[in-house]
Amino acid sequence: MGAGDDDSPCRALYVGAYDFGGELVKQPIDVPGLTMMHDFALTAGHAVFYDLPVVVDRASVCQVPAGFHGNWLPDA
């Protein structure tokens, strides 16, 4: 998994897996913003990511390097 390293600022989550040839295949998952995703679950056929309503405030991260930079937005 990775966060926000694509040329599209709207994509914030990637799922990656290696194919049978050993190549990394990344699949972007569209999410509404930089939400806090600290856990996930895997089954035989699915990956479930918990999209929690804590959204990262990018402006805050740039201005103040330490501290909590999230906002609780349950309707986002």
Assigned token pair, 52: 């929690």
The pLDDT profile of the chain, 76 residues, written as one tens digit per residue, is: 444 444 444 455 788 889 999 999 988 887 766 666 778 898 998 888 887 777 777 677 667 667 677 777 777 6
Report whether 17 contacts 2 (CB < 8 A).
no
User: Would you say 69 is a known binding-site residue?
Assistant: no
pLDDT of residue 22: 95
Nearest alpha carbon to residue 56 among 75, 30, 36, 29: 36
pLDDT of residue 39: 83
Three-state SS for 13-39 is EEEEEECCCCCEEEEEEECCCCECCCC
pLDDT of residue 12: 58
